[in-house]
């Protein structure tokens, strides 16, 4: 059973009103959730990247940089052993985060260790000694003979609770005739404080893990059940990749979490930042309450409005619908009539008529511009065609009517126009058939551009068919004593918009165009001339034959130009 629009508005107003409101509400909630999620992910990504950069900066400038300066001093051959030991013991006090320096020679079991006084006293108070800061020979055995800086795993001192990192730098000069290493024990308390004071900690959490999944600054040093995000981060660390990755997941207790992890560039650590999804979506609850109220209110208004305005709405809408259907079938002469309501529907009827008039104008205007111009307008993405051009290799095609001037002097203007339009119409259809684009008409001359892999072959076959069509027209109209001369050339041109911002022309320029125009000017009645660059593209193609003519001189050319006369195809 078919229901009219009026009947639908009257009998199904309740159902039709509530459905869009509910769908709109769900859509708004989903969009809000997506926006909130994107905002939280952006906040987490920024925090993870920021902390990673802070770690890299601290590693390079506070840890490794000073350590390399100490190495340079120890490598100084002008300093004696006592001076180097004094350098270690006095210089350690000026190094931030570094609490101990150690010089180890291959095969020597007792390294030289210098520790900060304050940290040494803390160790003694905790029942430990400086030996807790010593890096054993087993851990350093593989470091001799290499040139790379080695960073050991972060470790927690049981006595003080401090987290320490071992960094080993090979010495360039031997120690007592043996290969040596300079080691540093770096206290991570400053990094821990920096992470703990990050603004993200107010609403979320920050976790720092190494490639083995050990959680730094965690007294347990590991998690029995690592969350999915930590497993993914450590897997990426072990693969050697570095990236900022959003990784929402569900904890073992069922809580949904929004998380992001990032890797510092200089350490095998991962920065994991996360936030409770429920906390991030607190605004959704308020939105649901507000939406429920507005759905009820909107439903009431919609039902009442449907009954009141059913008659007034259906009639003009149906009229507009009929006109839109005619326009879709290509009829641009219809107009919306009889709509006198002074509301949005009336405005829609006016704009519909304006749109149809605009489409009609554009439809006729498109006949006056080339396909290249239309393509340039479409590709401008609404920003408008800009002045300027690009280099392209094309085939230019010039066709000029021979005998037109004398013909136009001997016959009535109406006959001249009829003949000219007939000749140009026939040529335009053939150019389109062979995938050419008409650039312009200049009096009795047609200028076209061919592009693509088969552009020269298409242009030559187009020229041959045009000559055949012109022969047919002359046979049908013997009183039209005219013929066509054609010139074809291939090469690079500058294609683009020329002129000014107020009035421009999308065309082609360059020597290739000039040579094509001169070939056309040299072509006799019914003759097609090819340049050498065009002939080389079609030479040997089946069905195309051309005869080499005597080279000609052209203005601006230092040597004669080779030309060919197309005999047929």
Distance CA 165, CA 98 (A): 9
Helical axes 282-328 vs 344-365, angle rounded to 10°: 50
Q: Measure the CA–CA gap between 493 and 396, rounded to whole angstroms.
A: 9
CA distance 315 to 338: 10
Residue 127's nearest CA partner among 98, 160, 154 is 160
Going by C-alpha positions, the residue among 186, 220, 235, 231 that lies closest to residue 70 is 186
Contact 331, 353 (CB under 8 A): no
The full length of the chain comes to 569
Rounded CA-CA distance 100/222 in Å is 26
- 504 vs 467: CA distance, rounded Å: 33
The token pair that represents 75 in the structure block: 């490598």
Q: Measure CA 362 to chain center.
A: 32
For residue range 451-478, what is the model confidence (pLDDT) as tens digits? Answer: 988 899 999 999 999 989 888 988 888 8
Q: What is the pLDDT of residue 381?
A: 47
d(CA 70, CA 79): 13
Query: Which residue carries 């019914």 as its tokens?
Result: 526
Q: What's the CA gap between 69 and 169, in Å, rounded?
A: 11
Q: Is the CB of residue 314 less than 8 Å from the CB of residue 6?
A: yes
Distance CA 216, CA 64 (A): 20
Contact (CB, 8 A) for 119 and 100: yes
Task: Measure the CA–CA gap between 524 and 516, rounded to whole angstroms.
Answer: 14
Domains and their CATH numbers in the chain: 38-280 (3.30.450.20), 282-364 (no CATH), 371-568 (3.30.70.1230)
Provide the whole-model pTM: 0.49
- In the DSSP assignment, the letter for residue 444 is T
Q: What is the pLDDT along the chain (569 residues), one digit of tens a residue?
A: 555 656 666 666 666 666 776 777 778 777 777 777 778 888 889 999 999 999 999 999 999 999 998 888 888 888 877 888 888 888 888 888 999 998 998 888 888 888 888 888 888 888 877 788 888 888 888 888 888 899 988 888 887 888 999 999 999 888 878 888 999 999 999 999 998 899 888 888 899 998 888 888 876 554 556 788 988 999 999 888 888 998 888 888 888 888 999 999 999 999 999 988 877 777 666 776 777 777 777 767 766 766 666 666 666 776 777 777 777 777 777 777 766 666 676 777 777 777 777 766 665 554 455 455 555 555 554 555 556 578 889 999 999 888 887 787 778 888 888 888 888 888 899 999 999 988 888 888 899 999 988 899 999 999 999 989 888 988 888 888 788 999 999 999 888 777 665 665 677 888 888 888 899 988 888 889 999 888 888 887 877 888 888 888 887 777 888 889 887 65
Distance between first and last Cα of the chain: 63
pLDDT in tens, 536-549: 888 878 778 888 88
């Amino acid at each position: 059973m078919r229901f009219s629009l009026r009947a639908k508005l009257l009998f199904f107003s309740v159902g039709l009103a509530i459905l869009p409101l509910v769908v709109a509400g769900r859509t708004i909630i989903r969009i809000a959730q997506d926006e909130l999620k994107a905002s939280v992910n952006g906040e987490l990504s920024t925090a993870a990247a920021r902390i990673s950069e802070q770690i890299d900066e601290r590693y390079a400038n506070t840890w490794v940089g000073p350590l390399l300066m100490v190495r340079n001093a120890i490598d100084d051959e002008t300093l004696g052993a006592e001076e180097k030991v004094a350098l270690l013991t006095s210089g350690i006090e000026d190094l931030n985060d570094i609490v101990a320096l150690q010089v180890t020679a291959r095969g020597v079991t007792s390294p030289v260790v210098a520790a900060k006084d304050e940290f040494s006293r803390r160790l003694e108070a905790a029942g430990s000694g400086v030996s807790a800061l010593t890096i054993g020979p087993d851990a350093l055995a593989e470091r001799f003979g290499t040139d790379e800086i080695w960073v050991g795993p972060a470790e927690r001192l049981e006595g003080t609770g401090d987290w320490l990192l071992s960094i080993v730098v090979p010495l360039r000069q031997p120690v007592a005739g043996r290969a040596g290493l300079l080691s540093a024990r770096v206290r991570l308390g400053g990094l821990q404080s920096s992470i703990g004071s990050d603004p993200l900690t107010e609403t979320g959490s920050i976790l720092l893990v190494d490639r083995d999944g050990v959680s730094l600054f965690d007294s347990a040093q590991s998690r029995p059940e690592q969350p999915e995000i930590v497993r993914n981060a450590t897997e990426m660390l072990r693969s050697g990749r570095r990236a900022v990755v959003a990784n929402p997941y569900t904890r073992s207790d069922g809580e949904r979490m929004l998380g992001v992890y990032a890797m510092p560039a200089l350490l095998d650590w991962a920065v994991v930042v996360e936030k409770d999804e429920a906390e991030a979506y607190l605004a959704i609850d308020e939105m649901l309450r507000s939406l429920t109220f507005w759905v009820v209110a909107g439903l009431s208004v919609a039902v009442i409005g449907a009954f009141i305005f059913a008659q007034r709405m259906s009639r003009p809408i149906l009229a507009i619908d009929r006109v839109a259907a005619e326009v879709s079938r290509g009829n641009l002469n219809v107009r919306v009539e009889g709509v006198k309501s002074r509301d949005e529907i009336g405005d829609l009827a006016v704009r519909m008529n304006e749109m149809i008039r605009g489409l009609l104008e554009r439809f006729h205007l498109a006949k006056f511009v080339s396909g290249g111009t239309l393509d340039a307008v479409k590709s401008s993405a609404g920003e408008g065609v800009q002045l300027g051009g690009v280099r392209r290799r094309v085939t230019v095609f010039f066709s000029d009517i021979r005998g037109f001037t004398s013909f136009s002097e001997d016959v009535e203007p109406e006959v001249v126009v009829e003949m000219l339009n007939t000749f140009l119409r026939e040529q335009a259809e053939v150019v389109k058939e062979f995938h050419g684009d008409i650039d312009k008409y200049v009096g009795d001359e047609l200028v076209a551009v061919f592009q693509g892999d088969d552009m020269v072959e298409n242009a030559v076959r187009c020229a041959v068919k045009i000559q055949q069509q012109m022969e047919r027209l002359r046979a049908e109209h013997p009183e039209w004593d005219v013929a066509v001369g054609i010139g074809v050339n291939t090469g690079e041109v500058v294609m683009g918009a020329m002129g000014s911002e107020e009035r421009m022309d999308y065309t082609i320029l360059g020597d290739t165009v000039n040579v094509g125009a001169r070939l056309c000017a040299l072509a006799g009645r019914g003759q097609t001339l090819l340049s050498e660059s065009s002939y080389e593209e079609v030479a040997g193609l089946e069905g195309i034959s051309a005869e080499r003519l005597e080279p000609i001189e052209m203005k601006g050319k230092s040597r004669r130009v080779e030309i060919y006369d197309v005999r047929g195809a």
